[in-house]
């Protein structure tokens, strides 16, 4: 097996991990230096003396790119068995690394995740952030993962070419890997581990908080913008059309509402389909327009019917103003629509 460690400006914790791993003769250690600089040359030199293979980036390219560099090296070296990736921060024990390696040998067609379950005192801020990440991933993928940002992961070498093609060079790579795994029907298996909690101020991940956070949650951001654009157009059309039909044509309230909902949905669905296909759920090998548009049309029909009966219940039965009822009905269908599109329409 190979343990691969992407490292940027590491400290002595990296060498401690290497020394512990070297006690197991069957482990090969591959370290990727992501242009840490001259001040850290002695760390990597000592790692080489301990028998590690060290690859080096001439400029800092990000954690995801460091992982890809290592994966490509293992492909070119015709490595066999399993590969376990681990951070250089001292968060994961050798016992947990071996546990993930053993599980990866069993789950040869998927990704094995070291799911962190911290024991002892963990800051409330960290707990909230982890819970938020789980909620976002579940919303984006339709799958539930306890720890989607763990740095301890195991793979069979057969998966390495696929891993090299996952988009992302920074810390967004690890999130994208799981999102793409859902899309490409690659399973992932979580195994509970008990890491050492390392306070963020002592970490050397150097996560560019704003830019990398935007990349990590980009699928949700793009879907939200697409839905917001279509939602504004649809909202305005329904209100205006319903008003015109009732005031100028004296059409019954229920019928005018149905016409307004149907016309508004048909007009906005074309814009929404284009944005979702090419901006939100786009891939190099995208679903054909014929297949995806047919499925999208079925979804739209179902949404029109569901939206109409929800509005009928809210505005006619419960006497809620249309302006408010429309917002309630649309927002209640927001996440189900995303899940259906990701899983079935643009799969």
pLDDT one-digit tens code per residue, 124-174: 776 787 777 777 777 666 678 888 788 899 999 999 999 999 988 887 888
Report the pLDDT value the prediction gives residue 140, as an integer from 0 to 100.
64
304 pLDDT higher than 90: no
What percent of the chain lies above the pLDDT cut of 70?
Answer: 88
User: Kind of pairing, strands 153-156 and 111-116?
Assistant: antiparallel
Report the pLDDT value the prediction gives residue 135, as an integer from 0 to 100.
78
> Comparing 216 with 114, which gets the higher pLDDT?
114
- Locate 45 and state its tokens: 């030199």
Q: pLDDT, tens digit, for every residue of 60-94?
A: 999 999 999 999 999 999 999 999 999 998 889 99
User: Rounded to whole angstroms, how far apart are CA atoms 94 and 68?
Assistant: 23
Q: Residues 285-294: what's their mean pLDDT?
A: 73
- Locate 125 and state its tokens: 């801020």
User: Rounded to whole angstroms, how far apart are CA atoms 3 and 14?
Assistant: 12
CATH 3.90.550.10 fits 2-216, yes or no: yes
Beta carbons of 17 and 98 less than 8 angstroms apart: no
Q: How far is CA 216 from CA 38, 73, 90, 170, 179, in A?
A: 30, 26, 24, 9, 10
User: Rounded to whole angstroms, how far apart are CA atoms 214 and 177?
Assistant: 16
Report the pLDDT value the prediction gives residue 103, as an integer from 0 to 100.
94
Report the pLDDT value the prediction gives residue 247, as an integer from 0 to 100.
93
Report the pLDDT value the prediction gives residue 35, as an integer from 0 to 100.
95
- Locate 58 and state its tokens: 């001439």
Report the pLDDT value the prediction gives residue 296, as an integer from 0 to 100.
87
How sure is the predictor about 203, in pLDDT bands with cuts at 50, 70 and 90?
very low
- Cβ–Cβ contacts within 10 Å for residue 286, how many? 12
Report the pLDDT value the prediction gives residue 344, as an integer from 0 to 100.
81
Report the pLDDT value the prediction gives residue 183, as an integer from 0 to 100.
76
How sure is the predictor about 282, in pLDDT bands with cuts at 50, 70 and 90?
low
* pTM of the predicted structure, to 2 decimals: 0.67
> Comparing 186 with 222, which gets the higher pLDDT?
186
User: Rounded to whole angstroms, how far apart are CA atoms 237 and 249?
Assistant: 17
Domain segments of the chain as ranges? 2-216, 219-345
How sure is the predictor about 215, in pLDDT bands with cuts at 50, 70 and 90?
low
109 Cβ contact list (under 8 Å, min separation 6): 156, 158, 159, 186, 187
């Amino acid at each position: 097996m190979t343990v691969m460690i992407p490292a940027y400006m590491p400290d002595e914790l990296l060498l401690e991990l290497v020394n512990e791993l070297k006690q197991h003769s069957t482990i090969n250690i591959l370290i990727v230096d992501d242009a840490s600089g001259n001040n850290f040359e002695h760390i990597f030199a000592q790692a080489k003396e301990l028998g590690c293979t060290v690859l080096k980036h001439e400029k800092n390219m990000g954690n995801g790119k460091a992982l890809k560099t290592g994966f490509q090296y293992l492909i070119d070296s015709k490595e066999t068995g399993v590969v376990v990736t681990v951070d250089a921060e001292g968060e994961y024990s050798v016992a947990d690394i071996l546990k993930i390696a053993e599980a990866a040998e069993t789950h040869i067609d998927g990704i094995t995740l070291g799911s962190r379950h911290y024991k002892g005192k963990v800051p409330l801020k960290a707990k909230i952030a982890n819970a938020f990440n789980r909620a976002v991933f579940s919303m984006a993928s339709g799958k539930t993962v306890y720890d989607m940002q763990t740095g301890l992961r195991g793979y069979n070498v057969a998966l390495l070419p696929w891993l090299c093609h996952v988009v992302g060079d920074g810390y967004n790579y690890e999130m994208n890997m799981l999102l793409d795994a859902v899309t490409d029907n690659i399973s992932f298996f979580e195994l509970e581990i008990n890491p050492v909690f390392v306070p963020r101020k002592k970490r050397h991940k150097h996560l560019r908080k704003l830019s990398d956070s935007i990349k990590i949650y980009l699928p949700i951001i793009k879907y939200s913008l697409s839905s917001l654009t279509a939602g504004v157009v649809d909202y305005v059309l329904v209100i205006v059309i319903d008003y015109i039909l009732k005031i100028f044509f004296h059409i019954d309230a229920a019928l005018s509402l149905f016409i307004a909902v149907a016309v508004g949905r048909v007009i906005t669905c074309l814009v929404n389909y284009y944005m979702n296909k090419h901006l939100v759920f786009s891939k190099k090998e995208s679903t054909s327009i014929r297949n995806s548009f047919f499925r999208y049309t079925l979804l739209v029909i179902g949404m029109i019917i569901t939206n109409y009966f929800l509005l009928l219940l809210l505005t006619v039965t419960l006497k809620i103003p249309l302006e408010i009822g429309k917002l309630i009905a649309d927002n209640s269908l927001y996440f189900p629509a995303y899940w259906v599109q990701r899983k079935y329409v643009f799969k």
